[in-house]
Structure 1
């Protein structure tokens, strides 16, 4: 596994002192040769030996502060996720996101906050998904969006999709179109994961797998979250998900070292008996406003 050394000025300074001291100590043990009239070549060989020994000690010490790529990614995840839960989704108006070359100079950008609940009872049933998309435009401090209710069948010709306009203000989702009662009730008390729960320490969660690509950039880790995990319990209680262990995927597309917030994607997936599938997905993306948001 590829190792990357922690970049810490204080640690480097300490290690430099250790190198100096160890070099002096090691050389002192050989001073007896100089007293016996060792020639210049012997002294040079002796100094070279001292340096090699000291470097070996230094490298051995460095191995104790090396971290894996997963740990580096995880630490970056925790730093960015520490802002959640937010007091209100309207806090996104004041947040700065990761900007690439697609952004115009005068465009403050738009935060796209989306959430999805999808359930498929068995192989013969459709996958029913309820999707919320909110666009928090930093240029005018207005949030509009849409709610999409879809049913996906094995026979694609039977698929259905209904879309309703929504807005967000005063910490509530407002339905702008006429919609069935079930849609009104679903949106009335809907809450996003990022406004109610903390991710806490990811290091305490068992890791299942990971994939990272510095060139894209894209970083992804799958965790096992037990039934009594706080996020798992929140999903069980609020949205009636299965009471069992689940797999949580966290994905980030953005520079890990960048101080601004990057795009994040969260997905919690459950699989029950008779091929029943349930999953909750939420994403936070920063986009150029010229995309029509």
Structure 2
């Protein structure tokens, strides 16, 4: 599924970090960094999506001084029954404009094939009302129900004490700043159960990969994304992605 680009290509930066002398120490050896990481994630779940209108984000030099910024929430679940089968996904991209406190975005249904000419993308405009996604146009009852029942992890679940999870890998660079960590997610974990229940997944164990950018020493929230992966490539692969980004608002959107 297409998502909106930020300044960093996160995975590319991760590989660059590991090959450029940046710190790759386990967070357990730097408790200060780990505590700050968990503090930033502790704001979730939000009481309602509209809370993002009043939430300060990490600002870099690309922000105009009069721009309050826009939060971009993206989320989708994808599954592939086999390596020769198409990858099917459903999800949302939502823009929450802090300048005029308006929300707009799309609900996506996509099918991705090896033959790109067979790819299919259907999108439905959405907005937010009372902590709920709603279609902006007339849609079928089935699609309306899918949109209105769509939820994000940041609405429903806490990341809890990450220190209790088995850590598989981690790295961080204060220069970027970028922090990444990969966990083994047991079947009893609340987020794991949330994803499995929402998308009817039979697999119980999963991997959780989290990336966060922004100054952990500051009071504002940085960008973060996470992926929960079930199965392996070519063998009933299923995964859920969610991303929260704070970015400059396009000039033409200020008064829209």
Could you tell me whether the CA contact under 8 Å between 2:180 and 2:209 is conserved in 1?
A: yes
Please state if 1:240 is matched with 2:178.
no
Residue 144 (structure 2) aligns with: 184
After superposition, give the CA deviation of every residue in 1:190-246 in whole Å (9 maximum; x if it has no partner).
111011111111100001112323332221100001111111111111221233110
Of the candidates 107, 110, 118, which is equivalent to residue 150 of structure 1? Answer: 110
Could you tell me whether the CA contact under 8 Å between 2:23 and 2:171 is conserved in 1?
A: no
Residue 158 of structure 1: CA displacement? 1.0
Residue 152 to residue 73, structure 1, CA distance change in 2 (3 Å): farther
Please state if 1:93 is matched with 2:62.
no
Aligned length: 231
Residue 291 to residue 241, structure 1, CA distance change in 2 (3 Å): farther
Residue 157 to residue 105, structure 1, CA distance change in 2 (3 Å): same
Residue 123 of structure 1: CA displacement? 1.3
Residue 182 of structure 1: CA displacement? 3.8
Residue 93 (structure 2) aligns with: 133
Q: d(CA) in 1 for partners of 2:103 and 2:78?
A: 24
Could you tell me whether the CA contact under 8 Å between 2:80 and 2:234 is conserved in 1?
A: no
Residue 121 (structure 1) aligns with: 81
Of the candidates 122, 132, 136, which is equivalent to residue 162 of structure 1? Answer: 122
5+ residue gaps, structure 2: 1-21
Q: d(CA) in 1 for partners of 2:235 and 2:139?
A: 31
Q: d(CA) in 1 for partners of 2:86 and 2:188?
A: 29
Query: When you count helix as a share of all residues, which structure comes out higher?
Result: 1
5+ residue gaps, structure 1: 5-65
- Superposition pairs for residues 42-121 of structure 1, below 5 Å? 68-69=29-30, 71-121=31-81
Which TM-score applies when normalising by structure 1? 0.73
After superposition, give the CA deviation of every residue in 1:136-190 in whole Å (9 maximum; x if it has no partner).
1111111111112111112222111112111111121111234454432221211
Residue 72 to residue 122, structure 1, CA distance change in 2 (3 Å): farther
Q: Which has the higher contact order (CA 8 A, sep 6+)?
A: 2
Please state if 1:230 is matched with 2:190.
yes
Residue 292 of structure 1: CA displacement? 5.8
Please state if 1:261 is matched with 2:221.
yes
Secondary structure (helix, strand or coil) at the match of 2:192 reads helix
Which TM-score applies when normalising by structure 2? 0.83
Residue 210 to residue 67, structure 1, CA distance change in 2 (3 Å): closer
After superposition, give the CA deviation of every residue in 1:28-64 in whole Å (9 maximum; x if it has no partner).
xxxxxxxxxxxxxxxxxxxxxxxxxxxxxxxxxxxxx
Please state if 1:197 is matched with 2:176.
no
Could you tell me whether the CA contact under 8 Å between 1:118 and 1:278 is conserved in 2?
A: yes
Residue 203 to residue 140, structure 1, CA distance change in 2 (3 Å): same
Q: Which structure's CA Rg is the greater one?
A: 1
Residue 3 to residue 207, structure 1, CA distance change in 2 (3 Å): closer
